[in-house]
Amino acid sequence: MFSSGLSAHDDLLALAKDQRFGTILADPPWQFQNRTGKVAPEHKRLNRYGTMTLDEICDLPVANIAADPSHLYLWVPNALLPEGIQVMNAWGFRYISNIVWHKIRKDGGSDGRGVGFYFRNVTELLLFGVRGKNARTLSPGRSQVNMIQTRKREHSRKPDEQYDVIEACSWGPRLEMFSRGARENWTVWGNQADENYRPTWDTYSYNSAIAAE
């Protein structure tokens, strides 16, 4: 998975060395039980990117690189909410709240192109957890609403507005796991954590790197 040849577990420890992070943002490549249609990114018809099993995600040594106290922001699909809580616990954090990403159209209405067998998904959840005592958010968090409303970009890419919220509400040092590209004042980790990163699959016709080329 990682160009260094190390396992994900060892690669993460090697990146952190002796540093402990006050804020960790993670967008794991979740593996869906139902791998049909547009739901699963690893479906052979789409092959967008590789995924990790729940056990593989839980086994990542996040507890070893998190400060005390610290904050965790964990992206999880609606269908995998129980698994998201399980990962948060395995990483040494306790669930507190969540931030909802509402995907909207250009006119501000809900973007109904999302997938789902029971309801049409127009939201994703960013779970928020804490570790240690005195782990309350910074003062801007007292007025920060728990919703982000933006248009979608390429498949699975999360809104850039998340960084403004996290940087205002949580302290450093900050680590982004499974990052797509580099970001100033953040440590980034993952096999797409490169400043020259470009998605390799088809993207939406607006607001995306490949479509603009």
Q: For the segment 31-68, what is each residue's pLDDT rounded down to a tens digit?
A: 986 545 444 444 444 444 589 999 999 999 999 999 99
* Topology of the domain covering 8-189: Rossmann fold (3.40.50)
User: How far, in Å, CA of 114 to CA of 180, rounded?
Assistant: 21
User: For the whole model, what pTM was predicted?
Assistant: 0.84
- Three-class SS of residue 168? helix
Q: Which helix (H) or strand (E) holds 84?
A: helix 81-90
User: How far, in Å, CA of 1 to CA of 205, rounded?
Assistant: 29
pLDDT at 211 over 50: no
Cβ pair 6, 14 in contact under 8 A? yes
Cβ pair 189, 176 in contact under 8 A? yes
Domain locations along the chain:
8-189
Question: What percent of the chain has pLDDT above 70?
Answer: 79
What are the structure tokens assigned to 90, written together? 């395995």
Q: Report in angstroms the alpha-carbon separations of 138 from 105, 111, 172.
A: 32, 32, 11
Question: What percent of the chain has pLDDT above 90?
Answer: 64
